[in-house]
Amino acid sequence: MCMAQHARVSGHARIPKAGSDEAVCYDTPPLGLQAEGAGGLHFATRYEPVRGTRTVAVLRAGHVFVVPLTLEDGETPHPALRDALSRIAAGTAGAGGAGAGSTAGLAGLPLLTALPREDWAQARQALVAHPDGRRLIDGIDRSQFVLCLDEGACVDESALLRGYILGGDPASTGAAGGASLDGAAAAARWFDKHCVVVGRVADDAASAAGPASGGADAGGCHRVGFLFEHMPGDGLTTLRWVEAVRTALADGTAAASGSAGDAASVLGDALSHPNSVALPAEAAALVSDAVSRGRAEIANWYRDMSGFALRLEGSGSTAFKEAGLPPDAGFQFAMQAGTLRATGSLRATYESCSTARFLHGRTEVIRGASPEAAAAARAFDGLSDSASLESKQAVWQAVQAATTAHRNFSARCQDGQGIDRHLTGLGLALDLLTTPEPQLDEGPSASLDPAEREAATAFLRSPLLTSAATWRLSTSNCGSQQTAYFGFGPVAEAGAGVGYFIRKQDLRATVTSFADPAAPGVDAADIATAFSDAVAKLLALGRAVNGRA
């Protein structure tokens, strides 16, 4: 298994640039690059190892605090870190004014990362052109990760899901127990870095709806989430990082150490922040306008995106196996059947498949909407509870054919025999051959004559391939005993994203979708309900056919 992605977890930053983003990792490069000295390129990532203090950027109410994790004489004492975070969370940090080492600043600055990339690149350029702005941005970029301390509370896990992703609704009044995190929290995500999020489900959250409907645990509680920036790696890599941290906390490896020195004396200027960054009037106006537009972007996302946390007790891997179905392929089929029921049609479906057995392998696409799945979903949708055993057996055979086809295709994808990576490679090759690049001037030249170029373009840009790669259902199975839910966002308008995992006794999924009045049936709650119904019907069918009803 290729472990290269693990070298890009800590210290990663996505830097907006005109035309294309850049991936930078402020951490030690992999062994193969260390001989080059200070850094180098590795899988499109430029390494700039941090020398000296390592830090974490803390976001609270739109302000940024850069807190040192290490000092000149070793790690920052854990009690001092706890004291520092408590002060930041309580809103008392920074009361003493700006300090020479401060890198916090403009309230709402994180909203810039919600802008379209070209707009954010322009605003960033205006910021870093001046010393204060560069110091502030560098402090965030060079941190190991971003810690988001959210304000307010969510009424249930479904609201918390959206809050984790977006940080809060700018239109919210901030009332505790409201539908979302409060408006100030909208500025509490830095989308260009990995974010550890500390949020809370309201103490008075109603749980009468039950866990399968997204209800919160009785009494409410704090939740810790991880919002990962996808550029340097995939979900499994991030999950291993989360598991390692969670295990260290559980077994005492990360037990508190050091003296209980006062945070103010130990960390000094890290707890101070200026109320503004000294920028020339023109640059300040540009940044202020960009922050306002970033706030509008978050507000639009909150308006257009729905989310739902689904927990199906008694529908875990044990139940699927007892029904005679492989768990992952079985739930993938249930999603096809549920999508057909909710929307009236089947949709191009993406399931993430790890190709880590190859050097620098990322993912391939397992296409869930196969011909076998389509035929079985239509037969399954038309099957009534009162159908004869013979009819149920016929539908069951179709379901078995669909899940077998899914498993076989999954195995081929893991072996590099999928479809979409090859199509992507052909498309990139066509772009290189039709758009000359300076780095291609040396060595043998490759070209296409006009007829070849026209034929290749017609094939790769055909409506069929474009439609087949517009993922109306984007899914990924990634989770563990250390996580409560896993999210996987939508990637197309009028599309849905489903992150899920299947434990022995339960199935957990998060569904997110973009609203589209012209495309009914794509609300996250509606889709989740359709999935839940399909799972229940599928397991009941398996038990009936196998004599276990």
Residue-level pLDDT at 257: 58
Pairwise CA distance, residues 418 & 367, whole Å: 9
First to last CA, the chain: 42
* Contact in structure between 214 and 509 (CB atoms under 8 Å): no
φ/ψ of 326, rounded to 5, equals: -70, 135
Residue-level pLDDT at 180: 44
> Can you tell me whether residue 520 is helix, strand or coil?
coil
Whether the predicted model's global pTM rises above the 0.75 cut: yes
Pairwise CA distance, residues 322 & 328, whole Å: 14
Find all residues with CB under 8 Å of 508, minimum gap 6, and list them.
Answer: 309, 310, 311, 312, 479, 484, 485, 486, 500, 501
Tokens 């995190």 locate to 181
Pairwise CA distance, residues 225 & 160, whole Å: 10
Tokens 């309580």 locate to 90
Residue-level pLDDT at 54: 87
pLDDT tens series, the chain, 549 aa = 777 788 788 899 999 999 889 999 998 777 655 544 444 555 678 888 877 778 999 988 778 888 888 877 778 888 888 888 888 888 765 543 333 333 334 668 889 999 999 999 999 999 899 888 888 899 899 999 999 888 766 777 888 788 778 877 776 654 433 344 555 566 688 999 998 888 766 654 433 333 333 333 434 567 788 888 888 888 888 888 888 887 877 776 665 555 555 555 666 655 555 434 567 888 888 888 999 999 999 988 888 888 999 999 999 999 999 999 999 999 999 999 999 999 999 989 999 999 988 887 889 999 999 999 999 999 999 999 899 999 999 999 999 999 999 999 999 999 999 999 999 989 988 888 876 554 544 444 566 788 888 999 999 989 999 999 899 999 999 977 778 889 898 998 888 999 999 999 999 999 999 876 666 557 899 999 999 999 999 999 999 999 876
Pairwise CA distance, residues 276 & 273, whole Å: 9
Residue-level pLDDT at 185: 63
The CA distances from residue 131 to 50, 125, 354, in Å, are 19, 12, 43
Nearest Cα residue to 527 out of 305, 343, 350, 317: 343
Nearest Cα residue to 105 out of 61, 71, 74: 61
Provide the pairing of β-strand 195-201 with 146-149.
parallel
Is 6 an annotated catalytic residue? Answer: no
Catalytic residue, from 6, 12, 78, 230: name it: 230
Query: If you ran DSSP here, which 8-state letter would residue 234 be given?
Result: -
* Contact in structure between 200 and 153 (CB atoms under 8 Å): yes
Take residue 413 and report the two structure tokens written for it: 């994808």
The CA distances from residue 369 to 216, 465, 473, 501, in Å, are 33, 14, 9, 19
Strands of the sheet containing 146-149, edge to edge, are 63-68, 55-60, 146-149, 195-201, 221-227
Residue-level pLDDT at 329: 98
Domains and CATH numbers, the chain: 4-304 (3.30.559.70), 314-437+447-545 (3.30.559.10)
Pairwise CA distance, residues 479 & 327, whole Å: 14
* Contact in structure between 313 and 502 (CB atoms under 8 Å): no
* Greatest Cα pair distance in the chain: 79
Tokens 């191009």 locate to 348
H helix or E strand, kind and range, residue 399:
helix 389-414
Contacts of 38-42 with C-beta under 8 Å, sequence gap 24+, read 42/4, 42/7, 42/8
